[in-house]
Amino acid sequence: MSQDVMKHPGLNLGPAHGSDDDAAQGMIFGFWVFLMSDAILFGMVFATYVTSLSTHALAGGPGPHDLYNIKSVFIETLLLLASSFTFGMASLALKYKHGKARLVGWMLVTLVLGLGFLGFELHDIFGMFAKGGVPSRSGFLSAFFDLVPLHGLHVTAGCVWLICLVGQIARYGLDTKTKLGIMRLALFWHFLDIIWIAIFTVVYLGGLA
Amino acid sequence: MNAQLDGVDEPADRKREERREFHSYVCGIGLALLLTVVPFALVHWFPAIPRFSLLILIGAFALVQMLVHFRFFLHIGFKQKREDLQLLLFSGLLLTIMVGGTIWIMASLALRMAMPGQP
């Protein structure tokens, strides 16, 4: 049934969830509109970064080869990708009613992976600071610290949201609001992983190539 | 209404659908892993490749990986009830025009002002 026509992006709950499935369509379309506008915001910050890659914008300061650490970025990429998968497992647990314990379990695994990602990113940023790569050093570094921590802030917001949803599950159970919250966070989480593809490609791999 | 729909929604059908959707996630992460590891390996172990071709290559890998994520994680297909795909494509068009245009104009400006090292 759900293979025929999708009501909205992300995993559709399907008719077994009754009115919750009907409520999802409009609510998630609205969230999809927000995600697309967020993508435009990220796109413009990417444009700022790419135009700040000239030797002039480096202002004699440290550049990509001095500052970026490909191993750390690779680990961050794997953590975020794994967290996208575990959130998918949480979505399946929600849709097929595997019980709250399994749903919350997968969500907490996702949270741990997300926090691990943030930990590595903070470690990277402090490593850059130690090498003199501070935002005020050059136009290039200002643009870098506009782009990468903007994504990090989004992931932080996602983690806070996830904790709130776990609290909501504990307090209210899996009612319509909680279900729709989990489904929207799932979209947000997968969307952030897509932004990260652009970041590791344009910023890190492009900078080190 | 729920009971009526449950009749259509046989447990066996749901089991099959669940397995299919689980496989879709596994397929997605498999492809995404491959499309991540290859560009990292190219940049890390093959510095001999000319920079321009390397950038084109990793860019292509990133674009394909984005499509994989949209298909397998966000479940965007050609049959959506609302304009999800159209909105995505329109945002893509806007991004191409604005980001591409910005980079083009700034690169051209840098060239005309004879600034070295602009991409």
- pLDDT bin (cut points 50, 70, 90) of residue B8 is low
pTM over 0.90: yes
B9 touches A at CB < 8 Å: yes
The CATH number that applies at residue A159 is 1.20.120.80
- How many other CB atoms sit within 10 Å of the CB of residue B6? 14
Rounded to a whole number of angstroms, the distance from the CA of A24 to the nearest CA of chain B is 12
Residue A32's domain comprises 16-57+82-208
Helix (H, G, I), strand (E, B) or coil at B61: helix
**Mean pLDDT of chain A, nearest integer:** 94
CA gap A108, A82 in Å, rounded: 13
Given this model, what pLDDT does residue A101 score?
A: 95
Contact A6 B9 (CB under 8 A): no
Residue in A36, A85, A198 closest to B88 by CB: A36
DSSP labels, A175-190: -HHHHHHHHHHHHHHH
Query: Is A11 inside a domain boundary?
Result: no
Q: Which is higher by pLDDT, A153 or A14?
A: A153
Domain boundaries of chain B, sorted by first residue:
1-75, 79-119
Structural domains in chain A (count): 1
Tell me: pLDDT of B58 over 50: yes
Given this model, what pLDDT does residue B87 score?
A: 94
- Hey, what are A197's tokens? 């593809």
